[in-house]
Amino acid sequence: MKKNHDKALLAGALVVAAGIAYLGYAKTTSVEEEFVFSSSGSGKNDTSVAGAVVLKETLATVTTPLQLEQAEVGDSKRPVDLFVGVALFAKKPAGGGTAVPVDLIKGEMVHPPIPNSWWLDNGIDPGFADSPARDADNDGFSNQEEFEAKTNPADAKSFPGLITKLAFVKDESIGFFLWFSSALGPEKYQFKITALPPVFESANPAQQEAFLSRSDLVYVRTKDYIGSSSNIFTEGFAKDRFLLKSVVSKEVTNARTNLTTTNEFATIEDLSENKKGTTFEIPKTPNSAARPGTVRYDRTAVLNLNAVGESGKDFKVKENTSFSLPDGKPEKNYLLKSITRDSITVEYKDASGATQTIEIKKKS
């Protein structure tokens, strides 16, 4: 009996300990148990929280996902903005009065010839009178230009051909007077050359003739008499620039006196980088009236690209030289064919690979 009694006491103690442990565990883990909001007693020992019911309802509201269904209108079931209570676009009648809503889907074009769908598809605001002239992506091309070129008006990396934004700012050409000065028989020739001021080209023929007849002009001369296939100048600004190809005799009639005489003419090859292979002819000791006609020019154009952030950054390109747009890029896809005082001619290949030529007038 004694042994059984000890075992019963031990078993009872284990049951009580297990019960106490469970109660402690249940108390610490039942965090989801709600507060008691009311008491059936007198209220003296009421432990409920004031406003707890409202708090519970509020928490239930903010933790429940809010579902908004997209509203639709019309037979086409077009979705509408749930948060706009007024017409997005409105237009005043021509005769005045209250503005009427504009339906961009079914209504007429607000900026012909650009369809309303183009503005919606590209996310561009058509609500300004000058919306076609605006530049939504700041690439230098207007919405109208991007529409015509079929480029993305909302992407600064998508734009029409840059050549359309190239401007001819000014001409910085320099003239030179190359004079076949004397000949002491076959293969014994001399030449001299002088640079001309920028205003020379804009002067009238009489002024040019008078300038080239001045005795105070400073010339670079050939050191010795030279023959055909010789470098004409070995020093000065024309050093290694001109090659004497040949000299031939021709009959020439003087327009003023109507007299015909024989004179020698030199054929000269220009060796400069952008003129290699080009030749020209000059007479020996031309009279004063003929001198302006022998003047030649090294032409340079000052250009500007009014797009892609390059506006205001002038750059220079020599005649018959390839260049890039924007300036400084490795791909030189444009050729400056010719320069005059009033315009430039540029050659390039379009998107299809066809060669195109464009004339650009000087900016006024």
Tens-digit pLDDT profile for residues 300-313: 999 999 999 999 99
Looking at residue 330, its pLDDT comes to 94
105: which 2 tokens? 């889907």
Domain annotation covers residue 88 = no
Looking at residue 85, its pLDDT comes to 55
**Do residues 331 and 348 touch, judged by C-beta distance below 8 A?**
no
Looking at residue 39, its pLDDT comes to 46
Indicate if 305 and 250 belong to the same structural domain.
no
Domain annotation covers residue 44 = no
Domain annotation covers residue 32 = no
**Do residues 338 and 345 touch, judged by C-beta distance below 8 A?**
yes
Domain annotation covers residue 125 = yes
Looking at residue 1, its pLDDT comes to 43
Q: Which of 138, 159, 140, 163 is closest to 149 using CA atoms?
A: 159
- Separation between Cα atoms, residue 323 and residue 162, nearest integer Å: 13
**Do residues 119 and 112 touch, judged by C-beta distance below 8 A?**
no
Number of structural domains in the chain: 3
301: which 2 tokens? 């154009």
Q: Please identify every stretch of the chain with a pLDDT value under 70, giving residue numbers as ranges.
A: 1-49, 66-87
What is the percent of the chain where pLDDT is above 70? Answer: 80
Looking at residue 36, its pLDDT comes to 47
Query: 159, 185, 202: which is the final residue of a domain?
Result: 159
Indicate if 234 and 317 belong to the same structural domain.
no
E-strand spans in 115-201? 166-171, 174-183, 189-196
- Separation between Cα atoms, residue 312 and residue 31, nearest integer Å: 70
Looking at residue 16, its pLDDT comes to 52
Domain annotation covers residue 51 = no
- Separation between Cα atoms, residue 136 and residue 159, nearest integer Å: 12
Indicate if 214 and 275 belong to the same structural domain.
yes
Domain annotation covers residue 215 = yes
Q: Which of 126, 123, 127, 158 is closest to 140 using CA atoms?
A: 158
> Cβ contacts of residue 335 below 8 Å, gap of 6+?
320, 321, 322, 323, 346, 347, 348
Indicate if 109 and 195 belong to the same structural domain.
no
Q: Which of 115, 123, 125 is closest to 147 using CA atoms?
A: 115
Indicate if 128 and 190 belong to the same structural domain.
no
Q: b/e string for 113-138 if b means 16 or more Cβ within 10 A? A: ebebebbeebebebeeeebbeebbbe
Residue showing tokens 């040949």: 246
> Cβ contacts of residue 323 below 8 Å, gap of 6+?
303, 315, 317, 332, 334, 335, 336
Strand partners, 243: 231, 269
Domain annotation covers residue 335 = yes
**Do residues 314 and 302 touch, judged by C-beta distance below 8 A?**
yes
Query: 281, 296, 311: which is the final residue of a domain?
Result: 296
Range of the domain at 288: 175-296
Indicate if 349 and 259 belong to the same structural domain.
no
Query: 240, 275, 296: which is the final residue of a domain?
Result: 296
Indicate if 338 and 290 belong to the same structural domain.
no
Indicate if 289 and 309 belong to the same structural domain.
no
Model confidence pTM above 0.85: no
Domain annotation covers residue 11 = no
